[in-house]
């Protein structure tokens, strides 16, 4: 593990004005909070936050970000609280740590609908302070570097999540080096045989042809010297995953894949970039269609560089990137350039572009998107896109992802134009709507009044914006017919289980499935975008047996000292499946609270009494009481039906107390014995769907105005 003195030295290398005492205090606090915790590898857990902090020093980030890295798991995994972090290190650091904690709690590899909602939250968190995602990306990179210590199935889950979300996010934010490494580390887990195959072929190629990189580097340096150009030159073989992806895209074997080497030339000025391009093209033959000028047309994340591919020695194709030093800094660090320091001062880079603008435009674009799956698809398309630049007849530049068509072009201008398009001209030549646009082409769309999107356009359009608009329009056309059909489908499905398709049941199902209202739910059913099984499962889910061994209540909690007893706090009644913490009491052992219990604020100043706990894995018996606060109609038979429904949910009523009786409604507290928090949520959802239930919520005791925290 990196010592505190060494970490401070790493920061001082680029920021001599760093507050060394504050860094040392954060280091000591983080180490104390994680005392006794271990990683899967058996190492002390604090080695991970320190490694994350060290990664961020490589990007020359400010003190607040480095301190956040040291503390990023304290609120999540230790007894430290937000208020304590804020008191010790200020509100800026506390907000950053809390932001990283919230990102960590987003289960991004879960069901698509939930994943789309989490993407919204992800972008919201990023838009508040982009340093949150910088810490999270460094956290994920270190976890991927040490992933071998995890269980195989967990490795696959994390690698897939990294490949689908974090790697493209890093690339989109301009941190290409991190994207390359995250992809290759994920590739190592997801397809180890494919990766090894690429590496073996590389070794064979080097044995047969020698050090190609050194020879080409020498040739290029000689040409630059002839032209009087001062520049740094680097060559490398591309990452195994990058080569594998090219093989899949081009459907070629390794032996036919030519551009597996990349070279980067860093010049002193923009003028030298173009002089270098001329020298390279004079010496080697340029490959047609492989030239991109991102200096005159930068990417949206601020990336600037000239890309060209030439035929080098022995006819081998090599890719060459040409850029200035300032352009290179942005290309390497992306968004981190906004926070980087040099000689104690925030560095100013004229080429840095704030990706927050991209995030803001993306979230605004899909803010009103009713289809979560469409939103998720659009986000992934946006993050994976490699752009082309086309022109309107007036000369305006339209940025589109590679493979875009005139339909995408039309929707990029305005949704109204996209919906009315009937034809297109590219470079003044009439072309089909499925034509793939190329860099530098001029596109003119032909529209007609009364035209509406066709279902075949979904196979043509590639951008998220176009596909979302097409789907939305198609749904509107058949909306009434789909609503009527959906109502019949759900009526039959609910009758099969002895229930009625009341408006309240449909409203509850829509809310649970994160849809706007019952009409949207019915339209989705009628258009086969949603199944009746999903609706029934949302409101009346079957009680699925939990796996694993039955856990005796006396062994339900993990983290106690040998011989230490525990009891559940009556104020919050924590259930298996909830995050918990323990408070020690003399003569009473440990009292277990839910992590969000209001009473925990009484013990914030007595951190020595806090115990880090968690529920034992396995199947818990229905032995844990929880109180449900119900307001129901005061009609004959209502209470009996409610009690029957609770019994059908496999929950046992241990006590029932009527606390308020009115002529038309009365309120009662029902104590039920449950297995876990999932069963509680299922029960409350079923109760909420009942027409005679006006309100249902979990009952918890509020702390008294003045409470003693003496042990």
pLDDT at 255 exceeding the cut of 50: no
Q: Report the b/e string of 429-458 with b at 16+ CB within 10 A.
A: eebebebbbeeebebbbeeeeeeebeeebe
Mean pLDDT of the chain: 81
Confidence of residue 586 (pLDDT cuts 50, 70, 90): confident
- Closest CA relative to residue 161, chosen from 119, 100, 101, 102: 119
Q: What percent of the chain has pLDDT over 70?
A: 83
Best mean pLDDT range from 238-242, 284-288, 545-549, 652-656: 284-288
Inter-residue contact 121 to 102 (CB < 8 Å): yes
pLDDT, residue 533, reads: 73
Q: Which of 77, 612, 629, 678 is catalytic?
A: 77
Architecture in CATH of 550-711: 2-Layer Sandwich (3.30)
Inter-residue contact 420 to 451 (CB < 8 Å): yes
pLDDT, residue 376, reads: 55
pLDDT at 10 exceeding the cut of 70: yes
pLDDT at 693 exceeding the cut of 70: yes
Q: What angle do CA 531, 536, 537 make, to 5 degrees?
A: 95
List strand residue ranges (DSSP E) for 44-113, in order: none
pLDDT at 196 exceeding the cut of 80: yes
Please compute the mean of the pLDDT values over residues 314-325 and round it to a whole number.
83
Euclidean distance between CA atoms 437 and 442, whole angstroms: 9
Lowest mean pLDDT of 269-278, 407-416, 604-613, name the range: 604-613
* Phi and psi, residue 102, nearest 5°: -65, -40
Higher-confidence position of 528 and 154 = 154
Euclidean distance between CA atoms 481 and 154, whole angstroms: 45
Confidence of residue 709 (pLDDT cuts 50, 70, 90): very low
Distances, alpha carbon 392 to alpha carbons 280, 437, 441, 548, 575, in Å = 33, 12, 9, 62, 60
The residues that bridge with 424 in the sheet, in sequence order, are: 431, 445
pLDDT, residue 707, reads: 40
> pLDDT tens digit string along 642-672?
888 887 777 877 777 888 877 778 888 998 9
Distances, alpha carbon 609 to alpha carbons 30, 412, 560, 582, in Å = 18, 59, 12, 8
Higher-confidence position of 497 and 285 = 285
Please compute the mean of the pLDDT values over residues 418-422 and round it to a whole number.
91
Higher-confidence position of 710 and 259 = 259
Inter-residue contact 669 to 627 (CB < 8 Å): yes
pLDDT, residue 110, reads: 46
Domain boundaries, the chain: 4-190, 193-346, 357-475, 478-539, 550-711
Confidence of residue 13 (pLDDT cuts 50, 70, 90): confident
Q: What angle do CA 98, 101, 102 make, to 5 degrees?
A: 90
pTM: 0.54
Lowest mean pLDDT of 6-10, 34-38, 561-565, name the range: 561-565
Euclidean distance between CA atoms 550 and 138, whole angstroms: 39
Confidence of residue 6 (pLDDT cuts 50, 70, 90): very high
pLDDT, residue 367, reads: 53
Best mean pLDDT range from 270-274, 430-434, 641-645: 270-274
Lowest mean pLDDT of 44-48, 315-319, 618-622, name the range: 315-319
What CATH code would you report for 4-190? 1.10.3210.10
> pLDDT tens digit string along 504-529?
989 999 988 888 889 989 988 876 67
> pLDDT tens digit string along 410-419?
998 998 999 9
pLDDT, residue 14, reads: 83
pLDDT, residue 182, reads: 93
Confidence of residue 337 (pLDDT cuts 50, 70, 90): low
Q: Which of 25, 58, 76, 223 is catalytic?
A: 76
Please compute the mean of the pLDDT values over residues 177-194 and round it to a whole number.
88
pLDDT at 7 exceeding the cut of 90: yes
Q: Is 373 a catalytic residue?
A: no
pLDDT, residue 222, reads: 92
pLDDT, residue 489, reads: 77
Lowest mean pLDDT of 309-313, 318-322, 366-370, name the range: 366-370
Architecture in CATH of 357-475: Roll (3.10)
DSSP element (H, E) containing 321: strand 317-324
Architecture in CATH of 193-346: 2-Layer Sandwich (3.30)
Q: What percent of the chain has pLDDT over 90?
A: 24
Three-class DSSP category at 598: helix
pLDDT, residue 352, reads: 60
Distances, alpha carbon 222 to alpha carbons 210, 218, 276, 318, 601, in Å = 20, 6, 12, 17, 69
Euclidean distance between CA atoms 68 and 53, whole angstroms: 8
Distant-in-sequence, close-in-space partners of 611: CB < 8 Å, separation ≥ 6: 79, 559, 560, 581, 582, 583, 584, 590
Structure-token pair, residue 120: 């919204």
> pLDDT tens digit string along 220-236?
999 999 999 999 998 88
Q: Is 76 a catalytic residue?
A: yes
Confidence of residue 41 (pLDDT cuts 50, 70, 90): confident
pLDDT, residue 492, reads: 75
Lowest mean pLDDT of 79-93, 238-252, 355-369, name the range: 355-369
């Amino acid at each position: 593990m990196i010592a505190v003195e060494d970490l401070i030295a790493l920061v001082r290398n680029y920021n001599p004005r760093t507050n060394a005492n504050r860094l040392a205090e954060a280091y000591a606090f983080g180490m104390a909070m994680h005392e006794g915790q271990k990683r899967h590898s058996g190492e002390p857990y604090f080695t991970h936050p320190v490694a994350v902090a060290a990664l961020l020093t490589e990007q020359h980030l400010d003190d607040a970000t480095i301190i956040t890295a040291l503390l990023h798991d304290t609120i999540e995994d230790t007894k430290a609280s937000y208020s304590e972090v804020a008191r010790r290190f200020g509100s800026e650091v506390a907000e950053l740590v809390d932001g990283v904690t919230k990102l960590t709690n987003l289960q991004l590899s879960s069901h698509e609908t939930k994943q789309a909602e989490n993407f919204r939250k992800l972008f919201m968190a990023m838009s508040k302070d982009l340093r949150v995602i910088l810490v999270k990306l460094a956290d994920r990179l270190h976890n991927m570097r040490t992933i071998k210590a995890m269980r195989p199935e967990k490795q696959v889950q994390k690698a897939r999540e990294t490949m689908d979300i974090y790697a493209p996010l890093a690339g989109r934010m301009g941190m290409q080096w991190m994207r390359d490494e995250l992809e290759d580390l994920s590739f190592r887990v997801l397809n180890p045989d494919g990766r090894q195959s690429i590496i073996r072929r590389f070794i064979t190629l080097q044995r047969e042809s020698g050090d190609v990189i050194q020879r080409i580097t020498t040739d290029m340096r000689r040409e630059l010297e002839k032209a009087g150009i001062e520049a740094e030159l680097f060559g490398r073989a591309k990452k195994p995953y990058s080569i594998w992806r090219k093989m899949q895209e081009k459907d070629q074997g390794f032996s036919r894949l030519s551009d597996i080497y990349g070279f980067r030339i860093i010049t002193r000025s923009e003028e030298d970039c173009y002089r270098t391009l001329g020298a390279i093209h004079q010496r080697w033959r340029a490959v047609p269609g492989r030239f991109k000028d991102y200096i005159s047309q930068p990417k949206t994340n601020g990336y600037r560089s000239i890309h060209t591919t030439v035929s080098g020695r022995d006819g081998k194709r090599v890719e060459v990137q040409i850029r200035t030093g300032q352009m290179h800094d942005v290309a390497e660090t992306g968004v981190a350039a906004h926070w980087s320091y040099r000689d104690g001062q925030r560095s100013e880079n004229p080429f840095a572009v704030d990706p927050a603008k991209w995030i803001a435009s993306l979230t605004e674009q899909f803010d009103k998107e009713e289809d979560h799956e469409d939103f998720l698809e659009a986000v992934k398309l946006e993050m994976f896109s490699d752009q082309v630049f086309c022109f309107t007849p007036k000369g305006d530049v339209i940025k589109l992802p590679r493979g875009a068509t005139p339909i995408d072009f039309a929707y990029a201008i305005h949704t109204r134009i996209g919906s009315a398009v009937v034809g297109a001209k590219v470079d003044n030549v009439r072309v089909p709507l499925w034509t793939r646009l190329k860099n530098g082409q001029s596109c003119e769309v032909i529209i007609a009044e009364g035209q509406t999107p066709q279902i075949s356009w979904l196979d043509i359009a590639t951008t998220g914006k176009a596909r979302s608009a097409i789907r939305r329009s198609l749904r509107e056309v058949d909306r009434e017919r789909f609503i009527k059909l959906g109502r019949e489908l759900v009526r039959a499905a609910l009758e099969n289980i002895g229930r009625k398709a009341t408006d309240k049941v449909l409203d509850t199902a829509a809310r649970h499935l994160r849809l706007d209202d019952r009409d949207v739910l019915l339209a989705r059913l009628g258009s086969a975008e949603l199944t009746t099984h999903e609706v029934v499962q949302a409101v009346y889910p079957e009680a699925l047996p939990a796996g694993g061994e039955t856990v005796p209540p006396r062994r339900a909690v993990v983290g106690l000292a040998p011989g230490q007893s525990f009891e559940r706090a009556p104020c919050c009644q924590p259930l298996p499946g909830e995050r918990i913490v323990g408070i020690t009491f003399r003569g009473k052992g440990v009292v277990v609270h839910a992590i969000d219990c209001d009473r925990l604020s009484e013990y914030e100043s007595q951190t020595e009494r806090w115990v880090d706990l968690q529920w034992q894995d396995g199947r818990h018996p229905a032995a844990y009481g929880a109180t449900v606060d119900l307001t129901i109609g005061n009609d004959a038979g209502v209470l009996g039906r409610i009690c029957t429904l609770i019994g059908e949910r496999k929950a046992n009523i241990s006590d029932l107390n009527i606390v308020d009786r009115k002529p038309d409604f009365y309120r009662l507290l029902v104590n039920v014995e449950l297995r876990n928090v999932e069963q509680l949520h299922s029960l409350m959802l079923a109760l909420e769907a009942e027409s005679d239930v006006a309100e249902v919520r979990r009952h918890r005791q509020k702390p008294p105005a003045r409470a003693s925290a003496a042990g």
